[in-house]
Structure 1
Amino acid sequence: MPWELPRDQSARLRIAKGYPFEAPKSSYLFVDGKVEPFSDTEKYGVSLSKRKAVIAHGSNRAPEQLKRKFFRHISGQDPIPVTAIWLNDHDVVYSAHVARYGSIAAELIYSPGTEVQVFLTWLTEAQLERMHATELPGGSYSYGHIKSTWVSADRLDLPIDSIGTAVYRSSTGILNYNNNPVAISALPARNRLLADWSQEQALSYVHGTSDLKNLDQAILRSIDSNSYRNQLTDKLKEQSLDVFHPTYAIVE
């Protein structure tokens, strides 16, 4: 297991409902489990040009998730720059996938004319290996590159990767609601073409209940029972929308 779930039920519910978690509104530096100003990057001797920029459009943009994945891990001894960007012609929607911690996960899709605010995590080779270990086992995601244009939300001069921008994408498809994707309301967007939901709205839809007590019980069951969670995901996959992206190329 890449990171351990809390045993307390209230803490589990907070994680499940809190996805994709709170993130700063601007670029920051993740250092030893804490958020520091991005301007400290030079002080720590971090060179962005020597790192791999990976789009963080879900929980990986949030300090609390980075802490779960990197705090006290050997690769986490190096700071991680996290830069806010506006990504052109894309949006972030719910995937047809229930995560092991109970949330409905995110997916990046091509959406001409939409700009969505996401982040780039600038990773060392060891940090990228660690991120792979938390994302790729189980086959729910693939890793590759997209051709895209973006601008720094903070007007920073950021390096551009000539082979494209790295990203993890869902292997299970997109959550289908009346034959349309549903955007994640926690991700700011300009000219958004889709309806958007909070995480709790998505969970209510997937579990088929809006009653708070029943929903909480269903969420906890999806965390405790692999078979129940897999049943939910299989049902979502059967109805899912295509995850085709015109420029996405998987890196084997």
Structure 2
Amino acid sequence: MSAQAGPAGLPLVSRASHSDVDATRLVRAKGYPYRRPSSSFLYVDGTAHTFRDNTWRGPHGLEALQLTAPSGAIASGAAVLAGAGVAEGWAPTQQWTPVLAIGSNAGPGQLARKYPPDLFPHGVVVPVVRSVLTGFDVVYAPLITSYGSCSATLEAAPGTDVELFVTFLTPALLQRMHETEGAYLLCRLSSICLHLGTSLESHRDSAPCAGRMTTVYQYNHQAGCLHVLLGPQGAASPVALQEIRALGRRLPALPQMGMQRANLNDEAARKARVDALIARAKPFSYARSEVLQALGSLYAHNVA
């Protein structure tokens, strides 16, 4: 990449470099909800070490997990934690909060953006457990994020089983996650049926899962979910994220590129579009959801 000389011989950033930056931002915007492993994984300082879904025994059992690194190397959880320098002083009995990861928070790349080494110099450990939630679907929020993506929220959907992930977060990691969830509500969902440590296929075949939960925490958009497409009865409907797998899906679904518009460089235009989307939104319809905290404003610049 070449750069022209400016005053006093100082280099000027070339147009090509601007194009490269815009291309990188566009890839991020279009890539939501981002790539994630096809199984449960232990995120340790930027690396996703996978493990078999049904071997999950809770945060107290991390050291006993058999983990597979991206290179294919297999090691125990104890060895991985020790090798990363986070084993000493690490207490599996500390407080861990289960939080649904319905969209980007299940992606190792997004976790790396949210938990950078400069903020967490002593290491980051996040168990991310593949699971199936019955009676819900992952749908588009009435939001265009500051990084250009059309983001996700949860909606009740009787008859649908959706595959998502559960992150287990220590208090410091949970607080940081709150800081990155602008325009969302921290909610506690109760009376749910969450099959922990399983895949959609295993759930379909009634294979044993690692366990079940009836209460979990979740980030839901402050304005609910977007209602724009015509549903089967001709009424406005939520729109499911096609990239998120589900059984018995009854909602219309679109991929990210089917919902997205370019919103990276014009903040005023992004806010105007958010206003238009919110006008077509409806609140989260699950009655057993308790709002615990509002996180940021509708126009927040999401941290990650």
Residues in 2 aligned to 1:128 and 1:159: alpha-carbon distance in whole angstroms? 22
Bigger-Rg structure (1/2): 2
Q: What secondary structure sits across from 2:219 in the alignment?
A: strand
Task: Output the amino acid matched with 2:111.
Answer: L
Q: Which residues of 2 match residues 124-139 of structure 1 at below 5 A?
A: 124-136=170-182
Deviation at 1:195, TM superposition (A): 1.3
Aligned AA (1:68): R
- The equivalent position to 1:169 in structure 2, one of 220, 237, 248, is 220
Kept after mapping to 2: 8 A contact 1:32/1:76 = no
Deviations 1:180-233 (A, max 9, x none): 111101111000001111000011xxx4xxxxxxxxxxx1xx222221111000
Q: Which residue is 1:123 aligned to? A: 169
- Report the structure, 1 or 2, having the larger strand content: 2
Q: How does 1:79-228 map to 2 (within 5 A)?
A: 79-136=125-182, 140-147=183-190, 148-151=192-195, 152-153=197-198, 157-158=210-211, 160=213, 164-177=215-228, 178=230, 179-203=236-260, 207=261, 219=262, 222-228=263-269
Computed over aligned residues only, the root mean square deviation of the Cα atoms, in angstroms, reads 2.2
Asked whether 1:64 is paired with 2:109, we answer: yes
Counterpart contact for 2:37–2:50, Cα < 8 Å: no
Q: Offset of 1:83 from its aligned partner? A: 0.2
Deviates more, 1:237-246 or 1:17-26: 237-246
Tell me the TM-score normalised to structure 2 length.
0.69
Deviation at 1:172, TM superposition (A): 2.4
Separation (CA, whole Å) in 2 of partners of 1:78 and 1:173: 31
Deviation at 1:50, TM superposition (A): 3.2
Residues 131 and 163 in structure 2, CA contact (< 8 A), matched pair in contact too:
yes
- Normalised TM-score (structure 1): 0.83
Aligned with 1:135: secondary structure?
A: coil
Distance in 2 between the 1:197 and 1:78 partners? 34
Call closer, same or farther: CA 1:156–1:49 in 2, change over 3 Å. Answer: farther
1:233 matched residue in structure 2: 274
**Structure (1 or 2) with the greater helix fraction:** 1
Go from structure 1 to structure 2 and tell me whether the alpha carbon gap of 1:174 and 1:46 turns closer, same or farther (over 3 Å shift).
same
> Larger relative CO (CA 8 A, sep 6+): 1 or 2?
1
Counterpart amino acid of 1:157? A
* Counterpart-to-counterpart distance in 2, 1:236 and 1:76: 41
The count of corresponding residues between Structure 1 and Structure 2 is: 226
Gap regions ≥5 residues in structure 2:
1-18, 52-64, 68-75, 82-89, 200-207, 231-235, 294-304
Instruction: Give the unaligned 5+ runs of structure 1.
Output: 1-5, 208-218
